[in-house]
Amino acid sequence: MIPGALTTRPHVAQLPMAPGDPSAAPTPSASPTLGASPTAGGSASPIGTVQVLDPTKDSWTEAANLPTPRTDLAAATGTDGRIYAIGGRAGGRATDTVEVYTPSSDSWASGTPLPAAMGEPRAARGTDGRIYVLDGTMMAVYDPDASSWSTADAPPNPVVGPALTALPDGRILAAGGIPAAGGTVSSAAYAYTPGSAGGSGSWTQVSDLPTEVTQAAGAAGPDGRVYVIGGRGTDGAVTDAVQVYSPDDDQWTAGPTGAASTRANAAATTGGDGRVYVFGGTAGAGRPLDTVSALHG
């Protein structure tokens, strides 16, 4: 199924509270194992609330609070269904904290800390089961079998705030962002090919985004394509652009746009029902959004 339209309510329940800047949602490849899509932390001030959407019931429930309230954190789902809340900012400072949520027991446990503090990480679970976390000049790679992190090179032109997603062929796509060394919003996109040890791979530049964005939401759809939704452009304004990447031919095309896609700092994931869900974020004036949009055929 190829998603073809963005809708908001009444098709998808609103968030119980507006998270403002929710964590990156679980990686799309892991969503079917959960049956629900959680968002954690967020807002201008760190909060620890965790909310879970059940698409089959179109309803939200509260889960156990995040032990360390944070903003700007990333999240990814392991192959065992546990959810990793990674890095972010606590007390205004970047943190190396990793906490792991077990849905079956509604409980959190401490995870292995990141190799270094990451204040605005992006995370994706690869087809190899490893979790890839990118923030500026460093990428960290988590091996769940060894419960350990290694480090890998960042893209040739390191960026902060890209859309990071796993491709069906095992590569990790990083699209857009702001150069870590400073400068204007980027349209560059890179694909990371993991090596045998996860962190021993290499980056290759792929086709640029048609529209340069940072703080966009990204998710891999059920059709194998990547959807980069919203974000901020070179003038700082929130865009409604939906940019769709096909890894088979290295081409970008335009997706459906509208009020539902006009958001920055949102979280996105693909549910077990095949729809791409986009959670929260901020509107043009920085106003937190409590809406959830779904991209579907």
CB-based contact 108:83 (threshold 8 Å): no
Q: Which residue has the higher pLDDT, 181 or 15?
A: 181
Give me the pLDDT at residue 55, please: 79
Rg of the chain over Cα atoms, rounded to whole angstroms, equals 17
pLDDT digits (tens, 9 = 90+) for 92-104: 899 999 999 999 9
Structure tokens at 67: 């032990």
Q: Number of structural domains, the chain?
A: 1
pLDDT band of 283, cuts 50, 70, 90 = confident
- CATH code of the domain in which 44 resides: 2.120.10.80
Residue 34's H or E segment, with its range, is helix 31-34
Q: Has residue 28 got a pLDDT over 60?
A: no
Rounded to the nearest 10°, the torsion over CA 182, 172, 90, 285 is 60
pLDDT digits (tens, 9 = 90+) for 58-80: 888 999 999 999 999 999 999 99
**Helices marked H in the chain:** 31-34
Predicted TM-score (pTM) of the model is: 0.88
Nearest to 292 by CA among 63, 94, 53, 33: 53
Give me the pLDDT at residue 57, please: 83
Task: Supply the DSSP symbol for 118.
Answer: B
Region for 137 from its dihedrals, namely left if φ exceeds 0, alpha if ψ lies in -120 to 50, beta otherwise: alpha
Q: Which residue has the higher pLDDT, 249 or 196?
A: 249
Give me the pLDDT at residue 19, please: 52
Calculate the alpha carbon distances from 41 to 30, 46, 85 in Å.
Answer: 20, 7, 9
- Write out the residue range of the structural domain in which residue 135 sits: 5-296
Distance of CA 139 to the CA centre of its chain: 15
Report which residue type is found at 199. Answer: G
Report which residue type is found at 48. Answer: G
| Cross-strand partners of 104 | none
- Rounded distance between C-alpha atoms, residue 164 and residue 198, angstroms: 16
